[in-house]
Each structure stands twice: as C-alpha cells, then as structure tokens.
Homo-oligomer: A and B are copies of this chain.
Amino acid sequence: MQDAPNRPYHHGDLRRTIIETAMAMLHEDKGWQFTLREVARRAGVSHAAPYKHFPDKAALLAEMALLGFARLHEELTTAKAKRSNSLRDEFFAIGRAYVKFGTSNPGLYRLMFSAEAGKAVDVHLSERALAVFGVITELLERGQTEGVLRKRDVRGGAAACWAQMHGITMLTMEGLFLLEKVGPDPLDAALVTLLEGLENQAVNS
C-alpha cells in the first residue's frame, strides 16, 4: 500500500503528491507564491482535483506550515544533539540552525509565519509549533539551573530569544542585512548580544 509505485488507485495518493509538489514549488519560486492550479498541473491532475483533499487553498497552506514546524523542530534538535558541550555552544548551534532553516527555505518559513488567514494562531498553538518553542524554553531552564543564566521568568526570556531569532531570520532572508548597514557578521553579533543579555554576570570566565 505504501510501496506500490505506479498508480495503485485512481491516481495514486494525491494529497501527499499535492503537498510535495507545492513544497517543491515553494522552494524554487522565491516569491513564496504558488497557484493551486499549477500544483494540480504538475501533479498531472485536473485543476479541481485538489479540492477533494483540501477544502481550501488556505487549508493546504496551513498543513504545509505544520510540516514546516515539524522540520524546523527536527533540525533544531539534531543541531542540539551534535554538540552537547557547554550551554554556550548549544545556544549558538541552535541559533544558527534556526536561521539556516529560514534562509534555506525562505518560502516555507514565510508561510509558517503568515498563514494567509486568521489561522496563524491555530497553527502556532499546534503541538508541533509548541515543540519548537519548547526547545528554547528547555535550553533556558537548563541554563538557569546550571547557574549560567540569570534567574528570571523563563517565558520572558524565551520570548526574547524567539523574537531575536525570528527577526534575524527574516531580515537575513530578505537580504536586508547589508554590509554597509550592519557589519560583517550580524548573525553572530546579534546572538552574542542576546546571550549576554541572558547570562548571569557573576559567572563570567
């Protein structure tokens, strides 16, 4: 069932095909726009076929956004696993992985934070999106118990981290971090500043 390659059913499992095709188009067209009809065309079905699987274009977008959060979460956790040394290393690893995800998939990242309808809130309250947020929260908690970070409402700190990473990612994606404006390595500069705002000043090696 999950292996039959050709056309096991009527067409094959559309739904998956549609999502994959749409993802691919999101990747190539940097404009992060794609049309439902074009997706259908590439999938080799008629223009109305997608409506048998998604009530709406917005529904497809929402599903793709969820998928995006899953992938982002995955990348963050693998980045975190790779170096389990100091908290500082972990912090930078996660930060860079986050930004890299955005710059590697600008269309998808955009989608995740627009959602083209009042649905944004729904998507971000989903389990998968919260998992991403959880990675940050967890890191902060660990830092506080270790005494490396100053003790404070973790949620506020997480908000700061999230906003900072999101901001850096968006501005980088858009190509707005121009050398004249922002110096040679704005990403690291921003991460360092953020980290030092979180750190416990007493513990300074």
Residues of A near any B CB (own CB < 8 A): 31, 113, 117, 120-121, 124-125, 130, 133, 152-153, 155-160, 162-168, 170-171, 174-178, 181-183, 185-186, 188-190, 192-198, 201, 204
A125 CB, nearest partner CB in chain B, Å: 7
Q: With a CB–CB cut-off of 8 A, which chain B residues contact A198?
A: 193, 197
Which residue of B125, B163, B164 is within 8 Å of A178 (Cβ)? B125
Judging by beta carbons under 8 Å apart, are B130 and A176 in contact? no
Residues of B within 8 A of A201 (CB): 201, 204
Contact B156–A164 (Cβ < 8 Å) = no
Residues in B whose Cβ lies below 8 Å from that of A31: 117
CB A31 to nearest CB in B, in angstroms, measures: 8
The CA of A117 and the CA of B33, in the complex, are separated in Å by 11
State how many copies of this chain the complex holds.
2
Find out whether the CB atom of A190 lies under 8 angstroms from the CB atom of B163: yes
How far apart are the CA atoms of A186 and B165 in the complex, in Å?
Answer: 15
Q: Which residues of B contact A194 (CB under 8 A)?
A: 160, 164, 193-194, 197
Q: B125, A175: Cβ atoms under 8 Å?
A: no
Given the interface pairs A162-B167, A167-B164, A181-B130, the reply to whether A193 lies near B121 with Cβ below 8 Å is no
Q: A49–B134 Cα gap in the complex (Å)?
A: 52
B168 in contact with A155 (CB, 8 Å): no
Known: A156-B190, A182-B158, A197-B194. A124 touches B176 (CB 8 A): yes
Q: Which residues of B contact A192 (CB under 8 A)?
A: 156, 197
A133's closest neighbor in chain B, by CB?
B181
Using CB atoms, name the residue of chain B closest to A118: B30
Most B-side CB within 10 Å, residue of A117, A166, A182:
A182
